[in-house]
Amino acid sequence: MTDNHIEVAAARQQPSQDAEASAALERAQTLLGRMTSAEKIGQLHQVNGGYSELEQQIRDGNVGSVINEVRMDTLNELQRIACEESRLGIPLLIGRDVIHGFRTIFPIPLGQAAAWDTQLIETCARVAAIEAASVGVNWTFAPMLDVSRDPRWGRIAESLSEDPYLCSHLGAAMVRGFQGDDLSQPGAIAACAKHFAGYGAVEGGIDYNTTNIPEIELRSTYLPSFKAALDAGAVTVMASFTDLNGVPATANEFLMQQVLRKEWGFGGFVVSDWDSIVQLSVHGLTANDAESALAAFDSGINMDMNSGVYSRNLGAALAAGAISETQLDAMVEPILATKFRLGLFENAYCDPASFPAAVNHDHRELAKQAAMKSCVLLKNANNTLPLLRETITSLAVIGPLADDGYEQLGTWVFDGDAADSITALAALQTALAPAITIHSARGVENTRSHNTDGFDAAIEAARQADSVVMFVGEEAILSGEAHCRADINLPGAQVQLIEAISELGKPLTLVIMAGRPLTLSNVIDKVDAILYAWHPGTMAGPAIADLLFGVSAPSAKLPVTFPRVVGQIPIYYGHKNTGKPPSHDTITSMEAIDNRAPQTSLGMSAFYLDAGFTPLFPFGFGLSYSRFEYRDLSLSAATLLPTDEIKVQVTLQNTGPCAAEEIVQLYIRDLVASVTRPVKELKGFQKHYLQSGASIRVEFSLSRSDLMFCNRHMEWVTEPGDFRVWVGGCSDTEMSADFRLEA
């Protein structure tokens, strides 16, 4: 069962972590007293691995961190030079993008999010940390906490949700997984809350594009996940590439000083994004590198990732009095403190003997579990799934992603190896042979290909089989950083291939692997079942095979809304009501409008003539092989006192044919407030595994902190008044009860 009540705002680090942080700070201050200005500036400099003068730079005390070097022997040698040959022996931070696994690849973050399982996501991060630490990495640039409501954006693959509550809980769990209870323990690595802030709101879903987010929206939607990650103990933050309301995040004092340090009391350090300091002049904020260095430094960016502008310019700025030694100390101090907290001054070296082998049996099992729990069953007409071994003798396995160990890993896989992957075709062959014959064909070369030469073989394979499973979607390279799409239909000739196979009239299941929600309106009626697998990682095959044949029932729910057509974007469940909300009674199809109908013919409400107002699949949606019934919603009281809490109970029964897991979701709405509030807001979720026929009483509690919102004065408050609460298996659930918050 997932705890529904991690107090995001109130959760603090353990007292022992606070004590350890203070001790690290004291040691950092003492060390600072012995450092030259040049050595201090060196600590602010992160250098790309493989740089030709790296060793000498480290020896000279000019490097604080290395990124993108993962050869253990090299890393141990660099640490040896730093610890033994530099004047003060300051060890290095070794950074790497460990985004959804290191060697064992778990589902992409958006896929992991579909499991709505804080324990699972924490364990995946833990294993990723252990594997990364086993080569000497001690810092990951994760979790990405950017709420995103735009599936065109390639980086939605890295996001954890469109929803601030889900994103907060899952992000905090990732931080705990990476960092453990004690950063100095073997296998713990520093986390980095990125990209601060608002990156997910890039205009038009184009990566790096400008963002314009009113402060109230920033605080309500985009900042809570960062606050939650810092409360969970994340020791570093990365600035976003983007500009926010006209000021690039890398020089944004409001974000870095006002919010992060003053309001939240963040004591760790901020790293720029890759070259984002030099890019300040590309944004047009500064005229040259010297100005860029100063702007970033002044705003509170401690470390310069890759560009070298700090290293080249801060010495002169100090000499000219543009920055002070005190300011410099304040920038270096948390970097040193982080190194102390990581225990690097005691031991900076990596000893592989203290770690389990990467991609071992347990890690694979976890990856399989994670993949299984992340696949969302979107359609299952006529109980097409699960496939029954007893009733079929042959299966067609078709499509470009059925047997591609590389593409199933998804974006941001620097250290995973496709050779470790088990594909769906391989897993199905293992599971089914010899009883069930598999006829396989790729159909198209890759997901983008328009060449239909392979269609005949695919059609023939389907013709020979009792049932057909097609593995379609997007290759890994079609999502991720800088890989945005304006058209998010299945690319290439895949839709044509589906149409051709569908004409055979065989039971047809789509397994879709993709880095984003795709628009599926053009295929949904042509197939019987759809299992949305995202990019499931190393163990995609065994996980999908088990789901297809009912060894386990799908349990995942969508962490993002699926639009019908791209023009609906942004479409998300927690929207505002507007003054003219649409209803199913008033909208109709464009074709049905009478000739010369009067302007008011459709009731004057907020919808598209050609796409209505509902998504194809709402947030929180996901089917099972079983069925769950919700009934008897009750509240422990009709009114809530500010110091009290209200218990929300519902009976959940598995009324379907098999044991299955359900994700129970609780939503609220503040019916009247001094600023308009979303029509629904997620405020709790739990997972329950029930045998067929079994029922339980599920209980959530709501307290005042769950009802808070950001008001016109940017204060987090509650206002007395009426609230509605819903509990169900999807954001479109209708069973509700009302209560009143007293003053």
Nearer to ligand BGC, 141 or 625 (CB): 141
Nearer to ligand BGC, 137 or 375 (CB): 137
Tokens of 147: 């709420």
Cα–Cα distance between 266 and 723 in angstroms, integer?
A: 33
* Cβ atoms of 43 and 335 closer than 8 Å: yes
Of all residues in this chain, which one has the CB nearest to ligand BGC in the complex? Answer: 141
Q: How far is the CB of 536 from ligand BGC (least distance, A)?
A: 22
Helical pair 494-502 and 455-463, crossing angle rounded to 10 deg: 30
Nearer to ligand BGC, 143 or 582 (CB): 143
Q: How far is the CB of 192 from ligand BGC (least distance, A)?
A: 7
Nearer to ligand BGC, 96 or 368 (CB): 96
* Cβ atoms of 411 and 458 closer than 8 Å: no
Cα–Cα distance between 417 and 603 in angstroms, integer?
A: 56
Nearer to ligand BGC, 57 or 140 (CB): 140
Classify 513 as helix, strand or coil.
strand
Cα–Cα distance between 34 and 47 in angstroms, integer?
A: 23
Which helix (DSSP H) or strand (DSSP E) does residue 202 occupy? none
Cα–Cα distance between 719 and 456 in angstroms, integer?
A: 65
The contact set with ligand BGC (CB under 6 A) reads 97, 141, 194, 241, 273-274, 481
Strand-pairing partners, residue 261, are none
Nearer to ligand BGC, 273 or 420 (CB): 273
Q: How far is the CB of 714 from ligand BGC (least distance, A)?
A: 28
Task: Examine residue 402 and say whether the peptide bond preceding it is cis (omega within 30 degrees of 0).
Answer: no
* Cβ atoms of 239 and 257 closer than 8 Å: no
Whether residue 273 lies in the annotated active site? yes
Which is catalytic among the residues 231, 243, 273, 289? 273
The answer for residues whose C-beta is within 8 angstroms of residue 58's C-beta and 6 or more apart is 78, 81, 82, 85, 86, 92
Closest CA to 397 of 436, 364, 369, 370: 436
Nearer to ligand BGC, 68 or 522 (CB): 68
Tokens of 435: 């009883």
Which strands form 695-703's sheet, in the order they lie side by side? 628-635, 645-654, 695-703
The answer for residues whose C-beta is within 8 angstroms of residue 385's C-beta and 6 or more apart is 377, 509, 529, 531, 547, 548, 550, 625
Q: How far is the CB of 273 from ligand BGC (least distance, A)?
A: 5
Nearer to ligand BGC, 161 or 242 (CB): 242
Query: What does each C-alpha distance from 582 to 369, 615, 731 come to in angstroms?
Result: 40, 13, 17
Cα–Cα distance between 539 and 544 in angstroms, integer?
A: 9
Q: How many CA atoms lie within 13 A of 226 on its CB side?
A: 32
Nearer to ligand BGC, 144 or 727 (CB): 144
* Cβ atoms of 118 and 169 closer than 8 Å: yes
Cα–Cα distance between 664 and 688 in angstroms, integer?
A: 8
Q: How far is CA 220 from the centre of its chain?
A: 18
Q: How far is the CB of 569 from ligand BGC (least distance, A)?
A: 22
Nearer to ligand BGC, 97 or 420 (CB): 97
Q: How far is the CB of 313 from ligand BGC (least distance, A)?
A: 21
Specify the residue for token string 């790096």: 208
Query: What does each C-alpha distance from 706 to 166, 577, 663 come to in angstroms?
Result: 13, 20, 19
Q: Distance between terminal CA atoms of the chain?
A: 33
Nearer to ligand BGC, 241 or 700 (CB): 241
Tokens of 450: 């328009």
Tokens of 553: 């029932």
CB neighbour class for 100 (10 Å; exposed up to 12, middle 13-18, buried from 19): buried
DSSP code string of 18-61: HHHHHHHHHHHHHHHTT--HHHHHHHTEEEETT-TTHHHHHHTT
Helical pair 164-179 and 224-231, crossing angle rounded to 10 deg: 30
Active site residues: 273
